[in-house]
Amino acid sequence: MTIPVKRLDGLILRKVRRDLLLLDTESHQIHQLNETASFIWDNWEQVPDPVEIARLLAQKFDVEEQVVLNDVSAVVGRLRELKLLVV
């Protein structure tokens, strides 16, 4: 059984060029997501599945899905560590 992971409530988001800034109002920290991490973040609500997001990302940037899957898993893991994605 997969436990859904959702984005943390109480974040203020600002797009700056290709990056995304997240202000965590609870921890008072600002996180900067690069273009790849922003893509993952933007798609997570509709597609909360690293494998599917890797497929979409591979299509967008014309790269190998397996390579991208490692990156997606790392980003999702880091966002969970930062408590920006929560169970």
Residue 70's pLDDT band (boundaries 50, 70, 90)?
very high
Whether 1 is covered by a domain: the verdict is no
* CATH code of 52's domain: 1.10.10.1150
Mean pLDDT of the chain, nearest integer = 88
For the chain, the domain total comes to: 1
Whether 61 is covered by a domain: the verdict is yes
**Parent domain of 42:** 6-86
Nearest-angstrom CA–CA distance, 77 and 21: 18
Nearest-angstrom CA–CA distance, 18 and 22: 13
DSSP category for residue 9: S
Residue 33's pLDDT band (boundaries 50, 70, 90)?
very high
Whether 33 is covered by a domain: the verdict is yes
Residue 40: the pLDDT is: 94
55 burial via Cβ count (<10 Å: 0-12, 13-18, 19+): middle
Q: Average pLDDT for residues 51-76, to the nearest whole number?
A: 94
Whether 39 is covered by a domain: the verdict is yes
Residues of the chain above pLDDT 70, percent:
91
